[in-house]
Structure 1
Amino acid sequence: MLDWIFEGIVDWVSGVVTQLMDAVSGLFLSALGTDMLAMEEYFPFITKAFTVLQYAAWTLLALITVWQLFRALTVPLGGETENPWSLLLRGAVFATLIGFAKPIFLYALTIARAPYTALMDVELTGEDFTFSGVENVLKSGLATLISTASVVGTILIIILMVALGWNYFKLLLEVVERYVVVGILCYTSPLAYSMGASKSTAPVFKAWCRMVGSQLLLLVMNVWFLRGFHSSIGQYIGNGGALSNGQGSIFLWLFCAIAFLKTGQRFDAYLSSLGLNVAQTGSGLGVELMAAARMVSGIGGGFRSAGNVFRTAGTAAAGAGTRMQGSFASGFASRFKGNSFVRDSVVQGGVRMGAGGSVGFIGRMFGGMAARNGATLTGDSIASVAARPPESSGSIAGEIADRSLGNYFPNLKGQSLTGTEITGGRIHTNVVGADGGQTAVELYSAAQYERPSGIHSVAEASDGSRWYQMASGPGAGAFYDVPAFTGSPAEATQVLSSFPDAPEGTLLRTVGAGELEATLPDGTAMWYNSAYFEEPDAPHRVMQSSGGVDWYAMQPYAVPPVFEPGDDAIDYNRAQFRTFMPGYETPIATVDGAGIPDGYFEVRHENGSGTRFYDAARYEAPHGSYRQYEDAGGNSWYGIQGEAAIERRPVYENGKPVYEGSSVKTVTVETVRYPSKPSRYREPAARGKNESRPPQRRR
């Protein structure tokens, strides 16, 4: 009785399958031939948009031609450029081709129509078949092989019919997709012609030509594969899979037929391996249809699982009260957030998170579809992977990681990212600049890694976690910079936000990449970003920005008083000096402030000797004998004692030496001879390529 019921169910299912296959077979080859009728009537927009693409192609062709002409006329002799006359000639030819793009493509279709029609006109017997006929022959063959196990026979029938029908249906999908690709190539052909004028863009046009030829070949091969399979079906119904040597069987025929169908589906990949430019079609839709079928089969179990969850929750709530209800609700919410299914579908490896069973499978399936159609991961979904230990986190990579990372790191929001990989405690990505240059960015969780010894900044994620950020390559400095400042007092709040330890009242002005001019209560000084500059030798202190980047805050230069020139200002200058340098006790006669712009000045004594003072913020400690003095503002000066001396100096008049006879006229001048002169500190050296070593993982 059970066998009879089961056999009836299987007969009904196999009948539905064969009727579906009969409904779609034989419709495609005649409808989707070597003309664009189906494309134009099913997608009328592409016909009206063709003129727009022609104008866009002419514009693009003109821009490319003008640019190449500009290069040819401005590049120095010997540079590699194109011949202007040749460029103009090719531009005119391809502008004409853009105007006749569609007729040219239709002529190519006419060439392909000859083999297509010839294959369609080949006469064979046995092609008028139905899948129901295949089912009947399968039943007869299996009845001979399995005469006692009717249940097994019916199961085999439905399995074999579904396998055959599914692969046939996938091949039909391939046929349709290949036809659509040819149609798209036809109606976008003006854009291809716009690439032909310049030698630098000609490879694009040549690749398009190869792709058109390859796709037309595939269009012809559609007939070859489908009619080949139809003839096999007719042969099978006629002789039940038998061969002339007596070795055939229904199973051998079935496997050969399925292999033939699969080869037809993958023929574009085979042509691609030979070097032809063909579009790879057919993979995504078939997988999604299979996933949809699996979803339908599992949805009943999913509802049962969900019911068990809610029943368990109800029992727990009745036994444990309000506290248990809140605990269950929060746990359920954490496991069944919609975006977590997208996350679960793209995480590779690690310990599975989220729901299991049928509910988890259905969620991951829909999450996978969403991920392939542009969905992004939320900051919480990324955090659930990035915050875990690497041995259990798994990893997220690919396009969804590129477009989602900005949701976790606000400083990367809006950036163009590529090559992103997210794993436990470590994230890698490449930021693509406007010029196409890529900056590699490594992020290490502060909870899992020690602080790096090299140049780095600190980035805060959307969940509040802190990450060490290390960038290398062109544009790396931008990841260590602070906002641009103008020196306005209105920016005081922004200054303190960028440099929490800056003295109150500090004003900043951006003067270059990684350079700030700081106006402080005790003077003006330069600050240098450690990501751009090596640590200087001159006196400085390390100032850390809010992003964790070290800045070298140079010591402000000492500012001596203004000493007036002339004999009338001698007493005034003495008084100014005594006020400015109270620790210098030797009586002075005069003060010379001519060297103040360069960081030094000089005093003379009554006996003709002198002392020259050098700002310790600008000069290294002198060699030999010197004393260090502190001015009234607390700044240090190096004092070098000099002895009185007499030297002869040439006489100049109007900038020219004065001669006495054949010799230059000289005069005797009292001067001071100093035993040494200190070297001035050099400006901080620009930092070379940043190759910071990754930090150590915490134990």
Structure 2
Amino acid sequence: MKLRKKLIPFLVLTACLVLFCSMPVFAAELTEADVEAAVASQGKEAVTGNVFVWFLCAIAFLKVSQKIDSFLASLGINVGNTGGNMMAELLIAGRSLTGSMRSHGGGGYHKASSPGSAAVAGSFLSGGLAGAVGRQVQREAVNSATGYTEHSSIGNMLYQSSLNKGGDFANQVISNIAQGNYGQVGSIKGADAQKAFTSYMGINPGGGSSYDNVEIGGGRITGTETGSSGNRDFALYHADQYAAPTQGSYSTVQSVDGSTWYKQYAQDTVEKTPYTSGSGKVAYNESIVQKLPPAPQRKERM
């Protein structure tokens, strides 16, 4: 009896290893061409069902392996926050993936239907099933971070957990938004924007400065920095999307993804306010205020 009890953990571990080894083989062998051929011969709904079954297996495996803290910790994800109602998570994830399957069924040109679709590129199932699941989770996280969706999703839970730790998953999502097309992807603003900014720029939250009114998106980051010298508005411009500023001083900084940004603070500027003098002539009151210099030129418009 004691021997049987000792064998149970070994058997469970063996079963997990078999599942772990078999699923990547399927994901690696399944290509977009295979899916398109299957759709042509079996119909879209049948193929969607098959992919959904495999996706449920993938989620089930992730649930079993939640105890492997080092795996999720490498992504900056708090394992304790990824638990919950498994059936609810499966329904949310399954609906997202099957919806993505239907929208990409033909494999041709597909206009981005959400900020996540615009920010996270890749045709359906390129890179296998693992790639499809990974992109779908990132798209859900982008949709949540930009306020496009407010409902709970696996992507949102992973993003929030990773953001609290300044993890790689959250920083990748922030990078996708920060460098995305503003008209299609939108921006991060509101309560989570300050946390996203300090995480993405690698700033120590206890470094003595605080940040408000932060907005991240479209190759530009703006906000207000409060330090020992008071409040200062600032703006950062992604060097791949903007030319170097020609007005005012600037510094060059790097975000955690290795991208280069031009940073400018609000600078003293003479502001003239017109008024009518006693003689009926227009005169001006002059005052010194702090304003950000005009934004540099975008490279695609040069």
Give 1 or 2 for the bigger CA radius of gyration.
Answer: 1
Higher relative contact order (CA 8 A, sep 6+): 2
TM-score, normalization by structure 1: 0.21
TM-score, normalization by structure 2: 0.44
